[in-house]
Amino acid sequence: MALQILCTLCEQVLNTHARLQTIDRSILAQQRTNEVARRLSTIPGIGPIGATALAASVADPGQFRSGREFAAWFGLTPSQNSSGGKDRLGHITKAGDRYLRKLLVIGATSLIRRARHKPEAADPRLLALLARKPVRVASVAMANKMARVVWAIMARGETYQARHAPNLAA
């Protein structure tokens, strides 16, 4: 009887895996046909799922005046508790779409994991941020930066171009 139940469970796992592969293929096909999603997928840390979700959710990037406002719409900016000329920044506001914010943070976390394994291939600004801040703070900060890059790409109609750090030795 236990073997029969185990076989049933194995069939369910295999069926679920096959359905997930079908869904992944359809998302990849959607990403390839959507011009905005194709451009967004050139950003490091944003894959086909994030690119299609962002392209589908943000119909008009022109409704935001800047990338900072766009990142605030996601809830990736710190809350401000300032008084008397003293700025105090708190936790992120967590306003906006939770799913999109989660996709950006997961993408930034993957960049951090990749930077830890291959620091020579990582962005020097990310390595400097990791040296100063805890990993989770750095991942949210990178997600904020990614949101600003997403806005710039969507608003200007460009593709992502990696900026290299200036050569300080020269």
CB count, 10 Å around CB of 141?
19
User: Of all helices (H) and strands (E), which one includes residue 92?
Assistant: strand 89-92
- Amino acid occupying residue 102: K
Interval 95-105 mean pLDDT: 89
Selection from 54, 60, 98 nearest residue 76 by Cα: 98
- Report whether pLDDT(35) > 90: yes
- Report whether pLDDT(30) > 50: yes
Facing residues of 89 across strands? 80
Q: Where are the domains of the chain?
A: 1-33, 35-156
Statement: the pTM of the whole predicted model exceeds 0.85: no
The two structure tokens encoding residue 67: 């990338």
Give the model's pLDDT for residue 88.
72
Give the model's pLDDT for residue 41.
92
Length of the chain: 170
Cα separation, 127 vs 3, in Å, equals 51
Q: What is the DSSP letter of 43?
A: S
